[in-house]
Chains A and B, each alone.
Chain A
Amino acid sequence: MKRKLFSRRDLWILLAVSLLLVGFFILRYYEAKGNVLIVEGTNFKKIISKPGVYDIDKEGKVVMKVEFDGERVRVIDSVCPLKVCVKTGWVKPGGTIICVPNAIVIHFEGKRDYDTETW
């Protein structure tokens, strides 16, 4: 049997994937977009609300330098090998900076009217 490049059944897969995508984009749109910065690691959580340059230390060592200017955030320096977090550059609310070697995620959070998470 010769496989076609595109068969009619593919439309179902494309439909499913695009529906999921639209769903995710809508979810992201309604996500709280605030100007409170959260630096989250495996066993710590740091909340930053004032602009400035912050050292993120983990087990006594400084692993990351984070600059927050009130609206955007970037990683100035990090000890990780590939420096993906540094290359990400400035990130606005809604975006995320992820550093896998340091296991650190930087993201924004807004003021929420509710204080529970259901998942």
Chain B
Amino acid sequence: MRKISFLSLMTAVSSVVYVLDSLIPFPVPFGRWGFSNFVVLWLASETGLWDAVTVAALKSMLGSVLTGSFLSVSFFVGFPGSVSAALVESLLATFGFGYVGLSVAGSFVNNFVQLMIVSYLVGTHVVFSLFPMIVALGSVSAVANAFLASRLGGVILENHLSFFFAEKERADEDPGSAI
């Protein structure tokens, strides 16, 4: 149960960032900064593959519902992108990379998968001419994400959200007291 509420909290945080993120202008068409991925990055690093994939899938669904693009083209492009990024990040996390490396690799894979889907939808490989631009900008936000992810663990521990880091009794006997 605690795991479910923990993952829902993470999904909520990530979706809110996703919505805020769509308000920030991005120089390349179809692009977004993708700051919501820091939650996924942190989960991939700390709690494992399935948590990261679950939250990646849920946040792009919930985020696209909130921004009104659910089941539209941008959803079908973004959803596999963030799920594959979560997969790659959690696989690389087992090899002891730092947050920056994981984040840059994740954003690279994310952009690559997205452009693969766009080029499939449009039917030409010409769309890959946008690739260097998107990856360069994506790496900038990836470094920002790495910083946010490295702070996220501290924030959660500091506030004693008592999910599975803090003591068991505290969360169970009096729900809400810890928060």
Interface residues of A (CB under 8 A from B): 3-7, 9-14, 17, 20-21, 24-25, 28, 31, 40-42, 81-82, 84-85, 87-88, 94-98, 100-101, 103-105, 107, 119
Contacts and interface: CB of A to CB of B under 8 A. Distances in A.
Nearest to B150: A5
B96 interface: yes
A9 B101 contact: yes
A40 B124 CA distance: 8
Interface string B135-146: 110010000001
Contact of B46 (A3, A11, A40): A3
Nearest to A95: B129
A13 B131 contact: no
Interface in B47-100: 72-74, 77, 92-93, 95-100
A84 B122 CA distance: 14
Given A3-B46, A9-B98, A21-B136, A100 B129 contact: no
A15 B132 CA distance: 15
Interface of B: 29-30, 45-46, 72-74, 77, 92-93, 95-101, 104-105, 108, 118, 121-127, 129-132, 135-136, 139, 146-147, 150
Given A100-B30, A105-B126, A6 B99 contact: yes
Contacts of B118: 98, 100
Contacts, number: 107
Q: Most chain-B CB neighbours within 10 Å: which of A9, A25, A41, A105?
A: A105
A29 B100 CA distance: 29
A11 B123 CA distance: 35
B73 A100 contact: yes
Contacts of B126: 40, 96, 98, 105, 107
B33 to A, nearest CB: 16
